[in-house]
Amino acid sequence: MISLPSEGGFQCNCYLLEENGECYVVDPGADREKIRSEVAKRKLMVKGILLTHGHLDHIGAIDCFKVPVYIHRKELPVLCDSYRKGFLAMGAEPPFKLPDIRFVALQGERELPLGRSKVLVVPTPGHSVGCVCFRYGKQLYTGDTLLKGTVGRWDYATGDLPRFKKTIKHMLEDFEPELEVYPGHGAATTIAAERESNTFYNEWKDTEQQNLTEDEA
């Protein structure tokens, strides 16, 4: 794994998942030339771009390579709305044109090949309606769902606090403690550490346990 935190603006973490000369780019929010330079330096073939969700700070450089952009089917409208309204609100020209992007809609749990391994798509709604995490071996890329010591916001247009509570409880109670967590903002952590110290999980964990329903996948 190669971490490429953006150097300005939203300060979103971008990651390269690499194996046997192939890679996926996770959440390229900015710094497209930095991402391209790192990929070229390592002589990697980019298989696709993986989006944990469609908020503005995670999509600013999704045109860095002409490859498929994977996003949950329920999250694509969120991305389009962020594109239309977000750059306008910032008084900035959009850095790419949506018709130029080749989106691939994800649904449910799905495996994406990488080298001899697989990247597992894990639906995690709450921060946004179509949020997902990506699991690669003992690593979990969580976007704005699970952060070190905290969680993402749920007061955006498609945020949903009851679903978010179920998502966080599922992640921290069902995933193995040694799983490494790489969030969209801030430092890395582990499931074990978050079980002990995550403010929101420790507030929510005693509420009634419910499983994610099929319509959330």
Instruction: Note the pLDDT tens digit of each residue in 56-99.
Output: 999 999 999 999 999 999 999 999 999 988 887 777 788 899 99
When pLDDT is averaged across residues 121-128 and rounded to a whole number, the result is 97
> Max CA-CA distance within the chain?
50
Of the candidates 180, 173, 186, 182, the one whose C-alpha atom is nearest the C-alpha of residue 212 is 173
Q: Quick one: pLDDT at residue 5?
A: 80
Average pLDDT value over all residues in the chain: 92
Count, residues in the chain: 217
Of the candidates 87, 105, 104, the one whose C-alpha atom is nearest the C-alpha of residue 96 is 87
Q: Quick one: pLDDT at residue 208?
A: 47
Whether 216 shows a pLDDT value over 80: the answer reads: no
Architecture of domain 2-108+117-210: 4-Layer Sandwich (3.60)
Residue ranges per structural domain of the chain: 2-108+117-210
Joined together, the tokens standing for residue 32 give 């497209």
Q: Quick one: pLDDT at residue 48?
A: 98
- Between CA 191 and CA 13, with CA 72 as vertex, the angle to 5 degrees is 50
